[in-house]
Structure 1
Amino acid sequence: MTTKTREQQLDELLDKQAIHELIMAYCNAADRHDHVKMRALYHEDAIDDHGHFAKGSAMEFIDKLPEIQAGMAILHHNVTTVNLKLDGDRAEGEVYILAFHKVKDGAQGYDVLIGGRYFDKYEKRNGVWKFSHRAIVADWAYPATPSAVKLDHPFLAGAHIGKPGPDDPSYAFFTMLKRGER
């Protein structure tokens, strides 16, 4: 077993941080329906397997996102455990998520909270880490019909309310975290 030099350890740490930021950028792009940003997170030849929504080219999946997300009043992806393994300019990751979906369906809609994982493959090309393959795995789902979300609850009075797209309060608040960028 060879011991890594401090420089090698730092390079590995920087690569893992870049991949972690990629994972977080994906969640933000999904939740804000930011398809420009989403497209920038995948290599052009990447694969995405999102079950019945899309399997195949990641770019084709992203092309379908406006239609897929049209029925989503709220998307909220939360990353918990991240396991990464690096091998030069390639890496693999198992990323645990909790993803909340409030789906528009009639007057009340319904909710689905999913506990799952992303199985990821990443590649660093031209110094930038991006997804080369992403597959979603569902471990459990907790549905609620009708929706239990109450944005008009008194506890939220006066609070900024998140929204998909550029009407989200984050776009007016931030100057460094810009739409369409990592």
Structure 2
Amino acid sequence: METELRTLVDRAAIRWCIETLARGEDRRDAQLIGSCWWPDATYDFGVKAGSYDEYLDWVVPGSDAIANTQHVLGQSYIVPDANDHAKCETHVLSYHRIVTGQGDTDMCIGGRYLDNFERREGEWRIARRVMLYDWCNDWGPSTDWASGLMGQPFPADHYAGHASGDFSEHFFTTVRP
């Protein structure tokens, strides 16, 4: 029973790390991202690969050409071992609003993160991430929803999301459950 409980706790901690990283990437928050990777970690996204520092320089502040992202996580298949290592595959849909200079476009990518996790001093973080791409779809020209949605205006500015500086920052620092 103790082994099963430890496995459940480890899987929950790993899943929390993956969720925190997705939020950090979408909000371009270096502190959140840094809490999920070991400083000596590496990544390989096919189009870019390297050290954790190179990854962070790429993701924060993010490309000016990518105005907004949203990473929607699917199931995670997590296999921890008895030696403080775990392998994990997580399905992801990543949306990107791309600024082209001639009108924004929307793109969605479906793929999987293959993560090697390590537990050090009781904490699980990513030691290596490889991205597998299963599909990509160019959704074409973006709709300007900043002032409303489906013909209805937003009653306040804070309803439109942004990569950084949107209402979610205020929500997590001031709003109580």
TM-score (norm 1): 0.86
- Work out which of the residue numbers 164, 173, 178 in structure 1 matches 2:171: 173
* Aligned twin of 2:116: 121
Count of aligned residue pairs for this structure pair: 170
Aligned partners of 1:39 and 1:59 also within 8 Å: no
RMSD: 1.9
Displacement after TM superposition at 1:79 (Å): 0.5
Displacement after TM superposition at 1:56 (Å): 1.6
- Work out which of the residue numbers 19, 25, 44 in structure 2 matches 1:24: 19
Displacement after TM superposition at 1:97 (Å): 0.5
Q: Give runs of aligned pairs for residues 1-182 of structure 1, distance below 5 A.
A: 6-52=1-47, 54-66=48-60, 68-88=62-82, 89-148=84-143, 150-152=145-147, 153=149, 154-155=151-152, 157-158=154-155, 160-165=159-164, 167-175=165-173
Distance in 2, Cα, partners of 1:9 & 1:30? 32
Query: Unpaired segments of 5 or more residues in structure 1?
Result: 1-5, 178-182
Percent identity of the aligned residues?
A: 29
Displacement after TM superposition at 1:59 (Å): 1.8
Displacement after TM superposition at 1:142 (Å): 0.9
Distance in 1, Cα, partners of 2:174 & 2:38? 24
Distance in 1, Cα, partners of 2:174 & 2:44? 31
Distance in 2, Cα, partners of 1:67 & 1:164? 10
Aligned partners of 1:122 and 1:133 also within 8 Å: yes
Q: How has the CA–CA distance of structure 1 residues 136 and 22 changed in structure 2, closer, same or farther, with 3 Å as cutoff?
A: same
Aligned partners of 1:122 and 1:131 also within 8 Å: yes
Displacement after TM superposition at 1:123 (Å): 0.2
Query: Unpaired segments of 5 or more residues in structure 2?
Result: none
TM-score (norm 2): 0.88
